[in-house]
Amino acid sequence: MLHSILGIHFKFLSLFFCIINLHFCDRDQANKSKVDSLLQQADQSLENNYLLSLQYAKKASIIAEKTADSRRKAETYYYIAYCLNMLEEYEKSYPYIEKGLNENASKRYKPLKARLLALKGFHYSRLHLYKQQAKQHQKVIDLTLSRKDPESAMTAALSLAALGISYTIINDYPPAHYYSGLAIQHAETVPDSIYNRLKKIYKVKANLFYYKAMIYIEQFKPNEAFPFIQLAYEQALIDNRQHTLFLELYADYYMQTGNTEKALEYYLLALADKQKRTSNRSTSADLYLKISKSYSKLQQHDNEEKYLKLSASERLIDENNNRKRVQAVLDNIEKQELIIKNRDELLNILLAIAFFATLLLLLWKYRKYKLKKKKLLSAKEIEIAQNKQLIETLELKVNESFSDLIALAKKNSPTFWARFQEVHPKFLKRMLCIDANFKSSELILCAYIYLGFSTKEIADYTFKATKTIENNRYNLRKKLRLSPEEDFILWLRNHVDDNPPTEG
């Protein structure tokens, strides 16, 4: 009788636990469906509204973290980091990249890991840490280049193009064209019928054509750039991308072909397109500078000065923001090092305990422990060497910036003045404090003099007569009321480097 009663109770308990289990399974599946739906909305909102996309991704993250689904959690972290990068919230995006990479799904599934590493590379590029950027993109290529799925193909193509751009920055154009061409070739292995059904994060063909055209523009080869500019703009229309970059690229083409009025028209269109997108937080310093130069060529000096001042103002914002962002990245690296250090210390404590316990239990394990400790110390030495190399790389960045600037000056590059302001951020503001009516041509000549170039060198590099440069220097000295005994270079460096700007 008792046995029969116990049997009935056991059946009821089994039925009860089955019902509870089904309930939790249904709820878990419902949460996964919500995450997928929110991620789809986040993807669809990209380009048009990054803030809205970020909201969807964060909602998805909250729900995903209630589940045991590592892949969905990593996907939500990816979209959050992606949106934060596009909103220029780099110090906030970095932890999400690390969280995504630390998920087990990222360690098992190569395409997911590759996307997060590509995002890390993008993160470094926006902070002008180009060596770190190239390192990340090489990892992405190693993970995805041999895969056949279209998502991996587009991820690999974008990283190949990014490597090409890293060579463009140092004016090494043959490998830049090689990687850029390889990126386009790799992307074209994905048929349009499949490409058009991909998520927005994979629709990067417009970027690939844009990068190829940019390399030609940097080489002052507008005719070679033009077909890729057209392809980039047409693809941007198909993919419903923002037009700002592509309109600016058209303007660069017209500027290099001598059609300044057409260039100005496209620069202004690019500016208008950028300003109507409220979620675009990047400044327009470079665009304002190009518009100022266009007005200068058209002899419209009021507009030239207006946009030059706008450019200078936004350049200051860029410099302040970039300084904070670089510091935030370095802080994140230090935090990672501290975590590793604490982990190593804890590991050493545990190993010590294990060592003494092993001595008490089995003496023969002592030798095995010593070998393990040696490997750990070797790993730590490698890690210290890598950290030292990173610090040396950051220190070299300043020297590389100066070398790049001298090279741009000697080539009379149109990007020289913008780059000069990046390397010497106090120069423009302090010169305008001395005289707010300086023309851009006068400021650029002052920049050449500040760098120590002689009159003949300036004439050679800017393709002007030595007499013209001498006259320009004389007019500048007269404008600045310099006596004949005063050294122009020393005067500039004393006033720019030592004297704080005063309000006019």
Q: Tell me the mean pLDDT per 10 residues along the chain, length 504.
A: 58 56 64 91 85 91 89 92 85 89 90 91 79 89 91 93 89 93 93 91 92 93 94 91 89 93 92 75 81 91 89 81 62 62 72 77 81 74 64 54 85 88 88 87 90 91 91 90 89 75 41
Q: What is the largest CA-CA distance in the chain?
A: 121
Give the DSSP per-residue string, 197-231: TS-GGG--HHHHHHHHHHHHHHTT-HHHHHHHHHH
pLDDT at 1: 54
How many residues can be counted in the chain? 504
Confidence at residue 15, expressed as pLDDT on a 0 to 100 scale: 59
Question: Is residue 102 within 8 Å of residue 70, measured between CB atoms?
Answer: no
Alpha helix stretches (DSSP H) within 46-87: 50-64, 70-86
| pLDDT, position 394 | 45
CATH no., domain 1-108:
1.25.40
Per-residue confidence (pLDDT) for residue 457, from 0 to 100: 92
Residue pair 255/268 in contact (Cβ under 8 Å)? The answer is no
| Positive/negative CA dihedral, 72, 76, 82, 83 | positive
d(CA 229, CA 250): 7
The residues, ordered by sequence, that sit 6+ positions from 150 with a Cβ below 8 Å of its Cβ are: 190, 194, 195, 198, 202
pLDDT of residue 181: 95
> What residue type is assigned to position 137 of the chain?
H
| Cβ contacts of 249 within 8 Å, gap of 6 or more | 210, 213, 214, 217, 225, 229, 232, 233
Paired tokens of 31: 């949460």
Residue 370: CB atoms within 10 A of its CB come to 10
Residues in Cβ contact with 398 at an 8 Å cutoff, skipping those fewer than 6 apart: none
Residue 418 near residue 428 (C-beta atoms within 8 A): no
* Cβ atoms within 10 Å, residue 403: 11
Compute the 3-state secondary structure of the chain and give helix, strand, coil in percent, each to the nearest 5: 80, 0, 20
Q: What is the pTM for the complete model shown? A: 0.60
The pLDDT, as a whole number, for residue 189 is 92
Rounded Cα–Cα distance for residues 392 and 125 (Å): 18
Residue whose entry in the numeric block shows the structure tokens 């990245």: 329
Domain range summary for the chain, segments of one domain joined by + = 1-108
Of the candidates 267, 181, 193, which has an alpha carbon nearest to the alpha carbon of residue 227? 181
Q: What is the DSSP letter of 500?
A: P
Cα distance between residue 444 and residue 469, in whole Å: 12
Q: Are 409 and 453 a contacting pair, CB within 8 Å?
A: yes
Q: Where are the alpha helices (DSSP H) in 411-439?
A: 416-423, 427-434
